[in-house]
Amino acid sequence: MNVKEEEFISQYSAAVSKKKLIKEKLIKYFFMINSLAAIFLILSIFIFLLYESYRAFEQIGIGEFIGKEISTPGGTAKTIYQWYPTSEEPRYSIISLLVGSLLTALPATLISALFGIAVGIYLSEIASSRSREILKPVIEIFAGIPTVVIGFIMLAIGATVFNDLFHPPNRLNAFLASIGLSIICIPIVASLTEEALRSVPNELRMASYSLGANKWQTIKNVILPAAISGLSAAIILGFGRAVGETMIVLMASGNAAELTFNIFRSMRSMTATIAAEMGEVSFESNHYYALFVIGMVLFVSTFILNLIAELILNKMRKKLRS
């Protein structure tokens, strides 16, 4: 190899690697810009809700979103909690909607905790590996049923069945909606429970059996306590899902904007209110801004629920690692 050739090669390869280097860098930045989309979206959602809510507070007043004080003919003032933005005297109490959301989400959470944890225990501790392999995808498929379908079933079948059974004052009510909600929450709680139980090291099961515990004693005294944080996270996430769900409540709850604590009455949730009214509201009206306040409350509450669940899970992962 003569000197000229060597020089040529080194020059050439230097050029190539420099070109390559720039290309590699550009590709990296291209991917990075894409990954900023998630931050951009979550930030803009937050800022957007905040901005529109601010406009609402500015034009309507924060107090109005709690309740409205009206004077009765007797001369005494009375606070009413009602969501009725289209009346002559618009009322913007989010309290009634919040209660409505809880009235459907809390029973749904209880039901799905009971069934979901049972299914999770069954899948993780009791089922043979063969039936687990079949049932887990089935659970996943159930989780994929569109919520509008559950809402439809509640209307088409559920309402009639419950009407005949309980004779509720309203045909469509919070209880019906919460049954519908639990159908979508059970698969969530079940798969998260199963995951939490399977992350309990097998050595602990062995220890328990070697001390003469039977299967149920092992589950109750060793596995469930060890996975307790995972279970609570599962329930919290199920609750968050129930609070944030729209279609089922919209279709099955009857949508009465009255404040009620009776689970067999018609009511209205925060999500259903947005869904029902956003299409008809005129742009930049007070009503329009008020809907964003509901959105803000929803966003913040699910954000907090997810955060709590995430913190609990992180703690559990650390504990199980040590």
Partner 1 sequence: MSDIKDKLGMKSKQLGGIAAIGSIKSLTLIIFLVLFLILGKIFVEGIEVINWDFLIDSPRNNMTEGGIGPAIFGTIAVSILMLLFAVPIGVFSAIYLNEYATDNLLTRLIRASVNNLAGTPSIVIGLFGFGFFILVVGKSIDHILQTGLLFGQPAMLWASATLAVLILPTIIVTTLEALNSIPYSQRAAAYGLGATKWQTIKYVVIPQAKPGILTGVILSLSRGTGEIAPILFLGCAFFLPELPIAQINMGLFSIPMINPTDQFMHLAYHIFILATQSTNPALTMPIQYGTTLILIMITLLLNLAAIIYRYKFRKTLEITGKG
Partner 2 sequence: MKEVKIKINNLSVYFNYIQALNDVSIELYANRVTSIIGPSGCGKTSLLRTINRMNDLMHGFRLTGEVLIDGVNIYEPEIDVVNLRKLVGMIFQKSNLFPKSVYENLAFAPMLHGIKDKKEIEEIVERTAIQAGVWNEIKDRLNENALNFSAGQQQRICIARALTVEPDILLMDEPATALDPVSTARIEELIFELKRKYTIVVVTHNMQQAARISDYTAFFYLGHLVEYDKTTRIFTNPANKQTEDYVTGRFG
Positions in the binding site for partner 2 (CB under 8 A)? 129, 201, 203-204, 206-214, 217, 221-222, 225-226, 319, 322
- Asked if 119 interacts with partner 1 (CB under 8 A), we say yes
Q: Does 20 bind partner 1 (CB under 8 A)?
A: yes
User: Which residue among 175, 267, 271, 290 contacts partner 1 (CB under 8 A)?
Assistant: 271
22 binds partner 1 (CB under 8 A): no
What's the one-letter identity of residue 23? K
Q: How many Å apart are CA 179 and CA 176, to the nearest integer?
A: 5
CB of 315 to partner 2, least distance (A): 12
Query: Site mask, partner 1, residues 136-155, x = CB under 8 A?
Result: -xx-xxx-xxxxxx-xxx-x
The three-point CA angle 166-169-171 to 5° equals 75
Q: Minimum distance from CB of 286 to partner 2 (Å)?
A: 55
Write out the E strands in the chain: 68-71, 77-80, 83-84, 91-92
Minimal distance in Å, beta carbon 124 to partner 1? Answer: 11
Whole-angstrom distance, CA of residue 129 vs CA of residue 133: 6
> Is the distance from CB of 301 to CB of 269 less than 8 angstroms?
no
Taking the C-alpha atoms of residue 42 and residue 50, their distance in angstroms, rounded to an integer, is: 12
Determine the interface stretch with partner 1 among 6-14, 65-73, 213-221, 259-267 (rule: CB under 8 A).
213-221
275 binds partner 1 (CB under 8 A): yes
| Subset of residues 238 to 257 that bind partner 1, contact rule: CB under 8 A | 240, 243-247, 250-251
CA separation, residue 17 to residues 20, 22, 298 (Å):
5, 9, 52
String of contacts with partner 1 for each residue 54-93, x by CB under 8 A? ----------------------------------------
By CB under 8 A, name the one of 80, 302, 308, 320 that touches partner 1: 302
